[in-house]
A and B are shown apart, each in its own frame.
Chain A
Amino acid sequence: MSGASGFSLFKRRNRSIIPGFGLTLGITLTHLTLIVLIPLAALMIRPWDIGLSGFWHQVTEPRVLAALRLSFGAAFVAAAINAVFGLAVAWMLVRYDFWGKRVVDAIVDLPFALPTAVAGIALTALYAPNGWVGQFLDPLGIKVAYTPLGVVVALTFIGLPFVVRTVQPVLEELDTELEEAAACLGATRLETFIRVIFPVIFPALLTGFALALARAVGEYGSVIFIAGNMPMVSEIAPLLIVIKLEQFNYAGAASVGIAMLILSFIMLLVINLLQRWSRRWAGV
């Protein structure tokens, strides 16, 4: 850590007369280092037991690759579903008046507040072949619980609030004058939406998509109940970490963990670039 000289260096640049800077920054950095940084460093150095080739060997096991593919693939599909329906929910909450709107608005945040294990067993009960929803899907030959489709359902649930909550404030602040102008100039409603509204809300939509995606990739609690956890088929990457830990394969568990972090980082970087590009394109 930076130590006493570090603090005085900070202090010299800080011309505020408000006291407590050293103390509060000290508490912040200490807590951050002890709770977050040192443990994460432990994750980063662990695979060195087995070397780079050992790390590569661990993460290219077919079972690990299948799990990573499922985690990232299902998370992507779930985030896409959330982008479409989340936009509809946000639009409905901002533009339409209906009875019980405030309650509907509040209940959108339920996936943030409901423990993931509870969501997991509830969704499994619903989508099991004899469940409320499953009994209608089963005769159609659609199996949701204990298949990769179940993983998508669980990941859709936990990512649901992100798109709504990022698009909603942008829609609220959107100036209707622009839409009026477009309509006056003869644009149809659909044209107005595509040419005027969508470019403005697209960056927010992308942010919501990225947040839902990032959350879904690492999700564990809600998925393991509904997934059935068959190796190579419906086994997610976080579960594989748990399994490797139970086998005392610490280096293997850490390798999968690092692979997940690296992939998430690359994914978010791409989305970030896409967002910057779309902002410039929309001129906002």
Chain B
Amino acid sequence: MSGHAPKSRVTLAEPGWVKALIMLAGLGFLGFFILLPLAAVFTEALRRGFGPYFEALVEPDALAAIKLTLLVAVIAVPVNVVFGVSAAWAIAKHKFPGKSLLLTLIDLPFSVSPVISGLVYVLLFGAHGLMGPFLREHGVQIVFAVPGLVLATMFITFPFVARELIPLMQAQGVDEEEAAITLGASGWQTFRRVTLPNIRWGLLYGVLLCNARAMGEFGAVSVVSGHIRGETNTMPLHVEILYNEYNFVAAFAVASLLAILALVTLVAKSLLEWRHGAELAATARRH
């Protein structure tokens, strides 16, 4: 990294103008594509001052959207934590054939378009879907209702926790767990007292990224939501509706909440990387 400039006599630095050009390209690129959009969100949201801004946030449909977003995340994230920890325990602490196939399958949702992630559930549970007639007979609604939103969000955020924990637990090996088991600890005790303290920061890192995606997902939930105002609209979908109604201040106001969520996630993630970098070593910079 930086700081240890070589003490040799040969020069390893680019000419000044090349360095300036690289800095200009790098910072200019980040300025145009990251800082300006971020600034635009907050400026547009406050275009008419704080009054209309807060009005847009406490309006019943907005509140319903905020509540629904939290509800979806509260269900999807813990389920993915249980799955992620289980998958990491099975994959990192044991040997079995087909492991690399399993890893590939876990990564699958990353390489599928969000729209396709929503589409698959409509094909399965929609009115004309494979199980549609069966569900209608029993009065169960999945698509265009909350269960569909939760399922699509789980699909999208499926790999996050597992992808964080698997390399970390693989790097840590099995010695400590084997020692605990040999000394008479049960499997659950070993996990609670030995493994969990070792992976807690990595787990938190995975949960952070998983949560940010769960709350911000648009494409997948847009397909399964049906856009029923106040009922099946999460915050990102509410932003879309307001924007399409040319209610820009309100759209950007709700968007600013999501932008704040993103910034808080980034700060927390950076703090984790700076303070506990070594404990995340196997996984840092993977996303």
Contacts and interface: CB of A to CB of B under 8 A. Distances in A.
Contacts of A238: 113-116, 219
Interface in B234-273: 235-237, 239-240, 243, 248, 251-252, 255, 258-259, 261-263, 265-267, 269-270
Contacts of A39: 120-121, 123-124, 155
A172 B284 CA distance: 14
Interface stretch (B27-35, B49-57, B133-141, B196-204): B27-35
Given A10-B96, A118-B258, A165 B287 contact: yes
Nearest to B123: A42
A146 to B, nearest CB: 14
Contacts of A117: 216, 218, 236-237, 239-240, 255, 258
B33 A241 contact: no
Given A122-B255, A126-B37, A220-B219, A96 B111 contact: no
14 contacts: A16-B95, A21-B90, A21-B93, A24-B85, A31-B83, A32-B106, A36-B158, A94-B2, A115-B215, A115-B236, A250-B126, A250-B129, A253-B122, A257-B115
Contacts of A131: 40
Contacts of B95: 13-16
5 tightest A-B CB contacts, nearest first:
A218-B113, A115-B216, A221-B218, A220-B219, A39-B120
A214 B87 contact: no
Contacts of A168: 285
A113 B90 contact: no
Q: How large is the interface on A (under 10, 10 to 19, 20 to 34, 35 or more residues)?
A: 35 or more
Q: How large is the interface on B (under 10, 10 to 19, 20 to 34, 35 or more residues)?
A: 35 or more
B252 A121 contact: yes
A25 B266 CA distance: 32
A37 B128 CA distance: 20
Contacts of B155: 35-36, 39
Contact of A245 (B82, B119, B219): B119
B100 interface: no
A34 B123 CA distance: 14
Interface string B70-104: 00000000010011011101110111110000100
A104 interface: yes
Contacts of A37: 105
A224 B239 CA distance: 13
A35 to B, nearest CB: 5
A109 interface: yes
A107 B266 contact: yes
Main secondary structure of the interface of A (DSSP, over half): helix
B105 A32 contact: yes
A20 B82 CA distance: 14
Interface in B203-220: 209, 212, 215-219
Residue among A45, A102, A122 having the largest count of chain B Cβ atoms under 10 Å? A122
A254 B27 CA distance: 42
Contacts of A241: 113, 115-116, 119, 223
Given A109-B287, A112-B209, A180-B8, 12 more contacts: A15-B95, A24-B87, A31-B79, A85-B26, A88-B25, A105-B270, A112-B287, A114-B37, A117-B216, A125-B252, A220-B218, A238-B116
A276 B206 CA distance: 30
A110 B259 CA distance: 9
Contacts of A3: none
Contacts of A38: 124
Contacts of A108: 30, 34
A182 B186 CA distance: 57
